[in-house]
Amino acid sequence: MKDTIAVVTGAAGGIGAAVAEALAVRGASVALLDRDAGRLAVVAKELTSAGHRATAFPADVTSGEEVEAVIGAVEERLGPVDRLVNAAGVLRTGPVHGFADEDWEAIFAVNTTGVFHVSRAVVRRMRTRRRGALVTIASNAAGTARTEMAAYAASKAAASMFTKCLGLENAAYGIRCNVVAPGSTDTPMLTALWDDASAADASITGVPEAYRVGIPLAKLARPKDVADAVLFLLSDQASHITMHHLTVDGGAALGA
């Protein structure tokens, strides 16, 4: 990753921040994108204070116009983008019969349309250079039904298939597009759903009434676990891998 230019969305926290740090530690110049400008500035400062190259670019991925402008600014300021990680995501839960229109729209605006906006802006530029790699962070829920997660699962399934189709369209241009699908990961997105400390145990041991089998490896993923998978798919070690779906969930989807 040394001396590459990488864009990471959702970089203000969770998996996005872990991916940004992993890239920066390995010598990449990282453009941090997130709509939380305050938290984004903190992440950028932490990385630069440690001697790494990271620049905050506050942006809302739900706006195609804003995304196009910020990717242009990244290339003008840092140079041609070599790597992209679509890590921005939101999670709202609830049964379909009571799910609000605004929650459905918000989930798809970030998790699916946001992936489209950023990928389009970056890949359009990568095509002229005939090189590049991107990874979209999806979810094991994209392929395994979960109660009260229909909107989230559907948005991630759409983002996954979008990324694979993007990879097919751009393989001839030397651009690789892959998917990493985490399961339960120790991030604020997950812990915000917990009522008490026992919720972590439930994620690990399973919830029969919700048809969840638990995690065979008997632990939650760390953001670093997901970041390591992302870095592999972005690296030259994965130079012959594209349109691949790598699940990082401790076996929770039973290999699906």
Catalytic residue ranges: 152
Q: Residue 134: enclosing H or E segment and its boundaries?
A: strand 132-137
Q: Which of 134, 232, 216, 235 is nearest to 175 (CA)?
A: 134
CA dist 112 and 104 (Å) reads 11
Q: Could you give the strand order of the β-sheet that contains 175-182, starting from the edge strand earlier in sequence?
A: 53-58, 29-34, 5-9, 83-86, 132-137, 175-182, 245-248
Q: Which of 63, 75, 87 is nearest to 9 (CA)?
A: 87
C-alpha 235 chain-centroid distance: 16
CA dist 129 and 131 (Å) reads 6
CA dist 201 and 189 (Å) reads 17
3-state percent helix, strand, coil for the chain, nearest multiple of 5: 50, 15, 35
> Do the beta carbons of residue 83 and residue 6 sit within 8 Å?
yes
